[in-house]
Structures are given as structure tokens and as C-alpha cells.
Amino acid sequence: MKEAVLVAIGGNSLIRAGQRGTVDEQIENARVTASHIADLAGMGYRLVITHGNGPQVGSQLLRSESGSSQTYTQPLDVCVAATQGEIGYILQNAIRSELRERGINTPIAAIVTQVKVDKHDPAFQDPVKPVGPFYHKEDAERRRDELGWDISEDAARGYRRVVPSPRPVSIVEIDAIRRCVEDDIIVIAVGGGGIPVVAEDGRLTGIEAVIDKDLSSSLLAVELGLKRMIISTAVDCVYINFKRTDQAALRDVTAGKVVEHLREGQFPPGSMRPKIESAVEFLARGGEEVIITSPYHLAEAVKGEFGTHIRKGD
């Protein structure tokens, strides 16, 4: 049976820097990303696709708040569900088109996915997950004062709204996702880190949060028993001393070494840190390799010619 790999796509892969994030822009960006995903399918891999939703869920929240005088509002968990549908639709159409151009008839499906979290997770008292567009400092502070937002500077690119980001505990639809993988169906799942839910009295109840998609992707890869995970992001590889004169690329590195870099404070929260943390967790729980690179170099990275490769070991 062909090897199954998980490919985690960042929400910013669909909305590029400087774009408004229109549907047409997202469709075009998805087409580019899908072409590289289709290359992996053409190489014989079974694929599990996950994706972020930071820009999209922020926009969904804005729509809900702005239209509150005329229609019902949506809590954050419902906003996550809505963006799963939106992004899943865009991605599955883009990937299907690229596959057919290559003469590949593999079916593809998007699964609306819930992820359990602990309602006592300390993250609910310390919002750090950026969502929505970037703002100048003055605009962000005005929205904080008028709308009660928590805001934070995001990787020196501007200011964004931040929301709670609890750790994922388990994936509710794991059996359905596993069946898709076993049946050689390309599956899009755990969008935006999954819809955050808590178990109460035998029922699942939504809770307002955004789960980090890289941590949920790592959990999904572990629960599926995968050996390899690919994290697609805005940079070609992982760097230490990022954007400094002594910046250096990490190409082939052990989990132990990246943990050392983590302890040195190399990777900022809300940016590269969760990707590295998810990679380390995946390798500690049975994974063999994590590749981090841009969507343009997925095939090259899988061949070992590009990106950052993190493997087990000290």
C-alpha cells in the first residue's frame, strides 16, 4: 500500500500578504498550492490535508460582529466550522482540478472535524492565537477599546486580534478520516485546528477558541499512525536568528537539536514555535520525519532536496 503522509497548509497560503482575501484571490492561491499537492499524489502518496484558518476565521468574526444588528451572531466555534466548509470547498475543487489535469482520478473529500479540548486548559486565561487581518497599532488599539479584543504584535508584521488556543486532546471524527485514508481517498480534515468542543454529560459542546492547526495536525498524524508529516508555511525552511545578520537555515536536524533552539527562545510564539512543538511531539509519539517548507517546494522537499527535515534523535 502507498505511504500516507499528512500535509498541513497554513491559512496564509490562501490569503497572501497585501491581499484583501477575496474569494477569487483564495481560489487562485489554492490553485497554486493544489498543483504542488497534486505532484505528491502523482508521486504515489496517499494524502491527508489539514489547513489553517487564521485570516478567514478573523474575517468571519468581523462579519458576525458587524452584522449583529441585522442577523444572528456566531460564536467562535461556529466561525471555525464555517471556515472549514469554505476552505474545504475551495481546496477540494482546486486539488480535484489539478489531479484531473494529470490523469489522476483519486477521490477527494473534506470532513467537518471536531477536536476535543480541556475546558480547564490555562490557555483560556491567556489568549495568544492570532486571527484575522493585520492592523496598524492605532487601529488595533481602537478595536480593543471598542470591541473588547485582546491584541498582540504578530512577528513584527503588525497587530492582530488574539484568542484562546487550548491544546487538542482527541479528534472526534478520527474513524471517518481513517476510513478515507484506508480507501485511498484524499481527505481534508481538522481545518483550522478543528472545531473546539468539550465533553459535558456525554454530549459535545462547542467552546470559543481556535486550536493551533499544527498541534492538531500532529495529533491527527499520530492517531493515524503516519510516519511522515509535512508542514507548509510562508518560508522555504526553518531559520535560527531569523531576520538577523547571522540568520542560518536548518536543513537536516534532530528533534533534540530543535528542542535546544526552542529553549534558547529561537522560535516566536504564534509563528514558528507551534510548528516546531508539533514536530517534536509527532516524533516523540512514533513519527519518523517532519518536513517544513513552502508550498512551492513540497515535491522537492519530499525528495530530500529542499526545506527543513527534522528527524528523531538527540
Q: What is the CATH number of the domain that holds 256?
A: 3.40.1160.10
Cell of 211: 486550536
Our count of domains for the chain comes to: 1
Active-site entry in 11, 21, 58, 192: 11
Whether the per-residue pLDDT at 40 is higher than 90: the answer is: yes
- Are 63 and 72 contacting, i.e. CB atoms less than 8 angstroms apart? no
Q: pLDDT at position 155, please? A: 62
Active-site entry in 29, 52, 129, 192: 129
User: Residue 28 contacts by C-beta under 8 Å, 6 or more apart in sequence?
Assistant: none
Active-site entry in 29, 191, 275, 307: 275
Q: pLDDT at position 268, please? A: 81
> Chain centroid to CA 223: how far?
17
275 is annotated as an active-site residue: yes
Residue 75: give the domain boundaries: 4-311
| Cα gap 6→301, rounded to integer Å | 14
DSSP E strands, the chain: 4-9, 46-51, 108-110, 114-116, 129-135, 150-153, 159-163, 170-171, 186-188, 195-200, 203-206, 228-232, 238-240, 248-250, 252-254, 289-293, 308-311
Mean pLDDT, rounded, of the chain: 92
Q: pLDDT at position 206, please? A: 96
First to last CA, the chain: 31
Q: pLDDT at position 122, please? A: 96
- Are 210 and 196 contacting, i.e. CB atoms less than 8 angstroms apart? yes
Whether the per-residue pLDDT at 270 is higher than 80: the answer is: no
Q: pLDDT at position 271, please? A: 78
Q: 272 or 99: whose pLDDT is higher?
A: 99
Active-site entry in 88, 192, 213, 270: 213
29 is annotated as an active-site residue: no
Whether the per-residue pLDDT at 12 is higher than 70: the answer is: no
12 is annotated as an active-site residue: yes
Q: pLDDT at position 87, please? A: 95
Report the pLDDT averaged over residues 110-125: 96
pLDDT band for position 1 (cuts 50, 70, 90): low
Nearest-CA neighbor of 43 among 286, 300, 254? Answer: 300
213 is annotated as an active-site residue: yes
Residues in the chain: 314
Whether the per-residue pLDDT at 110 is higher than 80: the answer is: yes
In the DSSP assignment, the letter for residue 122 is G
Residue-wise pLDDT tens digits, 15-34: 877 788 889 999 999 999 99
Long-range contacts of 21-26 (CB under 8 A, 24+ apart): 21/55, 21/56, 21/59, 21/133, 23/90, 26/87, 26/90
| Cα gap 276→256, rounded to integer Å | 11
Q: 69 or 25: whose pLDDT is higher?
A: 25
pLDDT band for position 11 (cuts 50, 70, 90): low
Whether the per-residue pLDDT at 156 is higher than 70: the answer is: no
Report the pLDDT averaged over residues 172-193: 97
| Cα gap 39→185, rounded to integer Å | 16
Evaluate the CA torsion angle 32, 17, 61, 113 in order and state its sign: positive
Q: Strand pairing of 228-232 and 248-250? A: unpaired
Whether the per-residue pLDDT at 74 is higher than 70: the answer is: yes
- Are 211 and 115 contacting, i.e. CB atoms less than 8 angstroms apart? yes
- Are 279 and 229 contacting, i.e. CB atoms less than 8 angstroms apart? yes
User: Residue 192 contacts by C-beta under 8 Å, 6 or more apart in sequence?
Assistant: 11, 51, 52, 53, 54, 56, 57, 80, 83, 84, 87, 210, 211, 213
Residue-wise pLDDT tens digits, 158-180: 898 888 999 999 999 999 999 99
| Percent of the residues in the chain that have a pLDDT greater than 90, as a whole number | 68
